[in-house]
Amino acid sequence: MKKAISTDKAPAAIGPYSQAIEVNGVIYTSGVIPVVPETGEIPDGVEAQATQVFVNLVNLLQASGTSMEQVIKTTVFIKEMNDFSKINEIYSKYFTGVFPARSCVEVARLPKDVLLEIEAIATK
C-alpha cells in the first residue's frame, strides 16, 4: 500500500505527482528543487540553490517521519558539471556518518530553469 506525503514546507508539486510516497516504510521523494516554499522564489547562485534544496528535502523527510540520517540513495541532477565541487561541499554538510549511495548526472534543463534537483530514498 502506498501513501502520499505532502507538506507546505517544501515546494508543491507542479504536475500530476506527489512530493513523496511511502511504501513499506521506505520514502521515495520526487525531485526537490530550490524554490522557497513561502515565496515561490528561487535563490541566485548554485551554493544558495543547493542549500535551499537541502532545506526543502529536510522538511519533506521530516513530514514523512524520517530524516537525512535515514537517506540511503540520492540522485542529483545538475545543470553544469563544473558546479559539482560546489554542490558536493553543500551536500556533505547535510549528511553525517555513512553517506548515502548517489548518482549525479548533468542535464540540459530542469524545471523552472534551476541549477540542480535532488531526489532521495530513505527508510523510516
Q: What is the dihedral of CA 103, 109, 111, 115, to 10 degrees?
A: 70
Q: Bridge-partner residues for 2, per DSSP?
A: 23
Neighbour tally for 1: CB within 10 Å = 5
Enzyme catalytic residues: 104
Q: Measured between alpha carbons, how far is 43 from 32 in angstroms, rounded to an integer?
A: 14
Q: Measured between alpha carbons, how far is 61 from 44 in angstroms, rounded to an integer?
A: 24
Q: Measured between alpha carbons, how far is 6 from 50 in angstroms, rounded to an integer?
A: 21
Long-range Cβ contacts of 39-44 (<8 Å, 24+ apart): 42/112, 42/114
